[in-house]
Amino acid sequence: MILFGGGGHCKSVLEILQLNGERVDRIYDGNPQNTDIFGVPVFTDQGHPEGGTAIISIGDNASRRVIALRYSLHYTTAVHPDASLSVHAELGAGSVVLAGARISPAVRIGRHCIINSGAVIEHDCTVGDFVHVSPNATLSGAVTIGEGTKIGIGACVLAGITVGKWVKVAAGSVVKQDVPDYAVLEDKHTEKK
């Protein structure tokens, strides 16, 4: 298996894979800070990776999208053993679910998403590709999140709300109304900028 990105998120992904008995052969990083991470060698030249499985272990949504479009590989998922993923939920290729996250039935999560530590995604939610639901954030029932959106730490999106694509929701926000594409919600009570 190959990981793309050798920063902080890589450490979380690598630990999940190791806990699940998966073998990671190498990590590619354009600007590595280490020669290895938890015993796995880090390389700078990505060359033309072929075959095998991969996960893009980069926290930045746009960067994950760039790598996914650049390399047509078999992207796999990683779910921490302490996470709860309903058997009636769908998890897209390349997505990662960290420790303590809870994903309820009838949830659809897109490709290359990060469902971070302690995040809660309730029933009937749809999460687009390249989304990051930060630690302890909550999506109430029947929420829709568009591609590339980042839900900040501890933010809460109320039931039935639609958040557009490439939106940034500030930490601690309570999203009470639909949010258009590309909006930036800075105030914790989600007044649009």
Active site residues: 123
Q: How far is the CA of 117 from the CAs of 27, 43, 48, 114, in angstroms?
A: 22, 27, 32, 9
Q: Which residues contact 26 (CB under 8 A, 6 or more apart)?
A: 2, 3, 40, 41, 42, 43
Lookup result for tokens 């894979």: 17
Q: What is the CA radius of gyration of the chain?
A: 16
Judge whether 1 and 23 are in contact, CB under 8 Å: yes
Starting at the earlier edge strand, list the strands of the sheet with 126-127.
90-91, 108-109, 126-127, 144-145, 162-163
User: What whole-number distance in Å separates Cα of residue 74 and Cα of residue 94?
Assistant: 9
